[in-house]
Amino acid sequence: MATLQVYDKPMCCSSGVCGPEVDPALVTFSVDLQWLAERGVRVQRINPAQEPALFAASELACRELREHGNECLPVIAVNDEVVSRGAYPSRRQLANWIGIELDELPVIASGCCSGGASAGSANRCCE
């Protein structure tokens, strides 16, 4: 299976999902990385503030910083090939780069089961 490498911007914690003002993009990205891991993708997320030696030991990360500066972070690579710089990608982009099917996302209507959810539908909150 593929390996997804994330070379993050320096953040206070490993995922950036901490502190008084959490960036919603980081929350979504963290969930998407968990989704990939559940499908067998090896996910490596390296934050230079948390793991400076590991970050500095990466030839890929050092090359990207030399060539593109700090603005390139986060750098996203699949099997050591850069696929994205400077932004957190969507789940759809991640799935495409890895080559896996994008699962149907659950549809949650207001009131959970309102809106005529039928048995077998994607509305998983009633299960």
Mean of per-residue pLDDT scores for the chain: 81
pLDDT tier at 19, thresholds 50, 70, 90: low
Q: Residue ranges of the alpha helices (H) in the chain? A: 24-38, 52-57, 59-68, 91-98
For residue 74, which of 41, 94, 46 has the smallest C-alpha distance? 46
pLDDT at 25: 84
User: Model's pTM, two decimal places?
Assistant: 0.74
Domains in the chain and their CATH numbers? 3-126 (3.40.30.10)
pLDDT per residue over 41-72, tens digit each?
999 999 998 899 999 999 999 999 999 999 99
pLDDT tier at 106, thresholds 50, 70, 90: very low
Tell me what the mean pLDDT of segment 94-110 comes to: 71
Torsion angle of alpha carbons 107, 14, 36, 108, nearest 10°?
0
Residue predicted with more confidence, 24 or 3: 3
